[in-house]
A and B are shown apart, each in its own frame.
Chain A
Amino acid sequence: MTETKPTGAPVLSVERLSVDARTPEGLKRVLDDISFDLYPGETLCIAGESGSGKSVTSLSIMGLLPKASLKVTSGKIRLGERELTTLSNSQMRHIRGGEIAMIFQEPMTSLNPVMNIGAQLVEAIREHQGSANPEATALEMLEAVQISDPARRLKQFPHELSGGMRQRVMIAMALSCRPKVLIADEPTTALDVTVQAQILELMRKLKAEFGTSIIMITHDMGVVAEMADRVVIMQQGRIVEQGPSVEVFGHPRELYTRQLLAAVPRLGALAGTDGPPRVSKSAIAPAQRGTAPVLHVTDLSVTYGGASGLIFKRKAPPATVDGISFDIMPGETMGLVGESGSGKSTTGKAVLGLIPFSGSVQIEGRDIAGLSQHDMRPFRRSAQMIFQDPYASLDPRMSVGKAVAEPLVIHGIGNASERQDRVAELLRRVGLTPDAATRYPHEFSGGQRQRICIARALALEPKLIVADESVAALDVSVRARVLDLMLELQETMGLAYLFISHDMAVIERMSHKVAVMRGGRIVETGTRRDIFENPREDYTQALMAAVPIPDPTVYRKC
């Protein structure tokens, strides 16, 4: 592939755009003096972490800013020769979907759940072009996005399709009017990594076929490297750096870009080592590895729903987790990796007795099968959990100090003042100041909240922590710091982790042992070195091949 130099006039140019948000404290600048051009046939990636203003940029171009809270204060957005910021709503409607189309992160919520796919496509086509036969065009479009069995899909409803298929439908809808510009806002973030690879491939192909320029908004530097001709890096409403992607990745000029790239875990970065990297500054001896497993799982199965029905006997649904077995030794991390629906989160909940299961789960040698919530209590001191979404796993009506003290209160440890001291110590331990105790969860950022959750899990000094996608909701730079904290805690406290993630790079960074799950079964298990350097199963190989690599030169070679 040759380096495409931007040629001719830009299709879309954003010039010194500023957007203000109305807040109770007055106007707050959320986009500050943004300028960039999009040339015909190129893919421009806008990359940045949450709050960087990348989505506000795309909404401004579409003229979809919520008028009550956000407003363009200065600057121009030109599509060819037309100025967009001064257009009326009805004029803008012809541009939207006709000349600029958009696809969103969550294809389920962007499709109308009570209309079939065909009707929604036909509606979009009719709106913008006087096609003689919109039904035929709809079918053509579905064929273009390579959906299997397109004629049948036309009659199906969104919930009958998988996430990947829905995103294909969204793309078909967006491209049906042959727009000049396609804005894709995190189009693959909600998708599994293998599906993501297919969708990205499809978008590259369609870009050439339809002659559309693409603005792609993403937080994933791997996706940027795979897709972008040029990159715009944003931070806190400003453009930090922009340029051809090979240059930005190869020779980043700005400190922030370098930090951002450094924070991205690279698959294969730890090749040739057996465990996660050491992060402790102090020279503490690594915690002793015992010989008895802290968690021993044999033939674990979980079935949701059950066959019972009061009047009508329902057929037993297939098992979500189907006869899996593994061991975790003290001080060791077991990485559980798989795509959505593989049963990895269910496994995490089952080993802590949070959902009913069959088979045997032993925590420190004692079986927890069939124990009631009350009888489980002693085991809670040995095994704790950190959840995926730090926004949802803290009670919004409970102060942080109370939340961290909860486990101590529940288990009757210490008196009020001892608990207060312990909470302060725990908060310090996870890198927060003790005065955080009096504040409420909504006053903290995602990363800080996840630290609070970690402090809460540590309060009982457990031997095992189940971390279910614990960093998936965090920005890359924050994610790296939380992972480091978890590694440091493991080194100093001898914690064992069951680390559940869909992200191969994160699993590689954290694990000693890895189990790959698919359809409720473990398809391959072994030491990290075995799995990552010598994957035996096709599925493991496919998973790894699908991970986007944050290095554009890899893609330029082919």
Chain B
Amino acid sequence: MTVLRSLFRQPSALFGLAVVLVVVVLALAAPLVAPFNPDEQMFDGLTLEGAPMPPGGQFLLGTDTLGRDLLSRMLYGARTSLIIGLVANGIAVAIGLFIGIVAGYLRGFMGNVLMRFTDLMMAFPALLLAIVLAALMKPSLWIVAMVIALVNWVQVARIVYTETRGLVERDFIMAERSLGAGHGRILLLHILPHLIPTAIVWGTLGIATTVLLEATLSFLGIGVQPPQPSWGNIIFESQSYFQAAPWLVFFPGMVILLTALAFNLVGDALRDILDPTQRGRG
């Protein structure tokens, strides 16, 4: 509860939290709040010349090139993008944390094997790997999420590994060992908490990159399958019409930016609140 109270004392964090809540609630309630069926290609959704409708009037944010309502597509797209940005990205951070900590703590042969594997993954073009994986399995939202998780943990593992190695050398870990603490206790109580800031920073930064990676995959036809919308594929579908219908790129782009920013603000605030060494300081 004190966490929430401290969160409320920071205006920027409060703003972030509000945006996050609004996005999540709208995504969950998409069927209730969306004015149209997101996949319906409406006849009056296009001008007489067959161009998309600009924002205003019947279609609040305009329509896309097939005459579908942009607002409705964005609301449903939020579901896809949040799953990618939160779940896929969360799994990636968790895998990275696990591999990084284990490799950094064990070092030796096992640590080396894990880190060389990480290096291999890093050297391998992520997009190529994603294409191969997605091609092997029938594309669906969850496959895309898994693919993204599998290519995005690498940087996290690398950084966590370095930090863990530094932590293991610290005296308080040696002190813990001299008290008789087991490996599990040291890893969970004395190393993991120190890596939380790193995990939070990577977790929040990863939201924007994973949402865009999903868009890339969708653009290549191996991501979320049309007509299911996601913020990323709305942008990619419409980018060649950018000059004629800028709203098609502008609105989803703004939403991705705003959501990533909001998660970042909340993450920063959480990091400070969870750090006891910041307590009692201005």
Seen from chain A, the residues whose Cβ lies within 8 Å of a Cβ on chain B are 23-25, 310, 349, 352, 354, 373-374, 376-377, 380-381, 384-385, 387-389, 392-399, 406-407, 410-411, 440, 442-443, 453, 456, 460
Contacts and interface: CB of A to CB of B under 8 A. Distances in A.
Interface string B170-208: 111011111111110100011001100000000000000
Given A24-B281, A393-B172, A396-B276, A374 B182 contact: yes
A373 B171 contact: no
A387 B179 CA distance: 12
Contacts of A407: 179-180
B172 A456 contact: no
Contacts of B277: 396-397, 440, 442
Contacts of B280: 443
Interface residues of B, number: 26
Nearest to A396: B277
B182 A406 contact: no
B113 to A, nearest CB: 11
B175 A410 contact: no
Contact of B276 (A352, A397, A410, A456): A397
Interface in B141-188: 170-172, 174-183, 185
B190 A387 contact: no
A395 B172 contact: yes
Q: Interface residues of B: mostly helix, strand, loop or mixed? A: helix
A25 B276 contact: no
Nearest to A389: B171
Contacts of A393: 171-172, 174-175
B9 interface: no
B282 A354 contact: no
A211 B218 CA distance: 77
A542 to B, nearest CB: 31
Interface of B: 109, 170-172, 174-183, 185, 189-190, 193-194, 275-277, 279-282
21 contacts: A25-B282, A354-B177, A373-B177, A373-B182, A374-B182, A377-B180, A381-B180, A384-B178, A385-B178, A388-B171, A392-B170, A396-B276, A397-B277, A398-B189, A398-B190, A398-B276, A406-B181, A410-B180, A410-B182, A410-B185, A440-B276
Contact of A387 (B174, B194, B275): B174
A396 B178 CA distance: 17
Given A380-B180, A456-B179, A397 B275 contact: yes
A384 B179 contact: yes
Which of B109, B176, B182, B276 counts the most A-chain CB atoms under 10 A from its CB?
A: B276
Contact of B175 (A374, A377, A387, A396): A387
A354 B174 contact: yes
A440 B178 contact: no
Contacts of B172: 392-396
Contacts of A24: 281-282
Contacts of B183: 373
Nearest to A385: B178
Contact of B178 (A310, A380, A394, A398): A380
A512 to B, nearest CB: 23
